[in-house]
Amino acid sequence: MEKTIAHLDLDTFFVSCERLQNSKLNGIPVIIGGGDRGVVASCSYEARYFGVRSAMPIRMALKLCPEAKVIKGDHEQYSKLSNEVTEIIQEKVPLVEKASIDEFYLDLTGMDRFFGCYQWTTEVAESIKKNTGLPISFAVSANKTVAKIGTGEAKPLGRIEIPNREIQPFLNPLSIKKIPMVGNVTFQLLSRIGIRHIKTLAEMPVDVLQQMIGKNGAELWKKANGIDDSPVVPYSERKSLSAEHTFAQDSIDLENMRSIISGMVEQLAFQLRQEKWLTSVVTIKIRYANFDTETKQCRISYTSADHTLLKYALELFKKLYTRRMRLRLIGIRFSGLVHGSHQMDLFEDTEELMNLYQSMDRMKNRFGKTAVGRASGLLIQ
């Protein structure tokens, strides 16, 4: 049986959420992001017209579009609306993958026997619009890659169906940048030898691509040819991430305890970013030598940034550890997770901090998670 996959994407999701709260934002350039030294988390199509893009420094964005309205953003509200959309989809479709806070894949294979897949997806989209007020675009095709590219071409407020026989004619004239796995480095590499459109890429010998860009060459060639066997993974939310450290001997060494907390926070925050989670609840746990166990937690703005999480963790530890008895265990847990497309906290972090974390994460991915870290957390490693 031929697969049928739909990709749904909430148009300029963060901006749309803000416009639900304030209709005065309709029709004007809107930027969601941090302060003057922050970066753009999202922007309206009116701002994009001036060249504003996600992850661009706010200062640069305002130079391009001085009239833009800058809003810090409310990730808790965005998460709430995202969950409402998820519930609507899950009520109507048996197999759903939540790829990020604002995009979904639906496996509609076999549904065309009872009801046209395009019509089915249309009704899902209309239900989302009716119940939440959020605009949404979608594409229906044979696999996830083509459906995602199709949604990008359909935006804003677009709907498109790409049957098997039309996949290659649809893909051929598009820029290779439209392929999800093509970043700036790959684009520049291929552009230098004249490969800028999917048609040219699709016609290249696969072994040549592998020689140029390594093991991903074959996968890139498949995507350029509209081939993608990856399944729709059923949606499930992870509840929490946690770590504990048990002392070899009961301890009262505060400096060592803070270092251990720092190391655990750094490792858990790296895991958050790798799995594309943001956390909103930090919990500290301690166990005294007499086995008395106490915890303290606080709610925070959604983040996956080490420095933010460490600040709250140390504050909680200071409030919790008051008996000055020896400890046998320290633990930390991040919960209240949302699975979003933003690995960094674009609402709080500066461009410099984002670049620092991305560089550190690349080193950890290449050389191991303990390859680089804060000096304050070295004892845990």
**Rounded mean pLDDT, 263-274:** 90
243, 282 contact by CB (below 8 A)? no
Q: Which residue is associated with the tokens 């990709």?
A: 7
Average the pLDDT over each of 190-204, 274-288, 292-306, 337-351 and give the range with the smallest value.
Answer: 337-351
Distance between CA atoms of residues 186 and 261, nearest Å: 38
**Token pair belonging to 104:** 């979904």
Binding residues for Mg(2+): 9, 102
Question: Which one of 1.10.1740.10, 3.40.1280.10, 1.10.240.10, 3.30.1490.100 gives the CATH number of domain 240-377?
Answer: 3.30.1490.100
324-337 residue pLDDT tens: 899 999 999 999 88
pLDDT beyond 70 at 372 = no
Task: Write out pLDDT tens, residues 195-248.
Answer: 999 999 999 999 988 888 888 899 999 999 999 999 998 876 667 999 999 998
Query: Which tens digit of pLDDT belongs to each residue from 26-60?
Result: 999 999 987 666 889 899 999 999 999 988 889 99
Q: Which pLDDT band holds residue 379 (cuts at 50, 70, 90)? A: very low
- The answer to whether the beta carbons of residues 232 and 97 sit under 8 Å apart is yes
**Percentage of the chain lying above the pLDDT 70 cut:** 86
284's tokens? 């500290």
Examine the pLDDT at 364 and tell me if it is beyond 80: no
CATH number of 14-75: 3.40.1170.60
Distance CA(187)–CA(127), nearest Å, equals 38
pLDDT tens per residue across span 5-27: 999 999 999 999 999 999 999 99
- Confirm if 58 and 31 have CB atoms less than 8 A apart: yes
pLDDT digits (tens, 9 = 90+) for 99-128: 888 999 999 998 776 678 999 999 999 999
Tell me: cis bond preceding 169? Omega within 30 of 0 counts. no
Domain with CATH 1.10.150.20 in the chain: 169-225
Query: Choosing from 103, 161, 219, 348, which is the catalytic residue?
Result: 103
Asked whether the beta carbons of 250 and 328 are under 8 A apart, the reply is: yes
Active site residue 103: yes
Can you give the pLDDT at residue 343?
39
Where does CATH 3.40.1170.60 sit in the chain?
Answer: 14-75
Instruction: Tell me the CATH number of domain 169-225, given options 1.10.10.10, 3.30.200.20, 1.10.150.20, 1.10.287.1080.
Output: 1.10.150.20
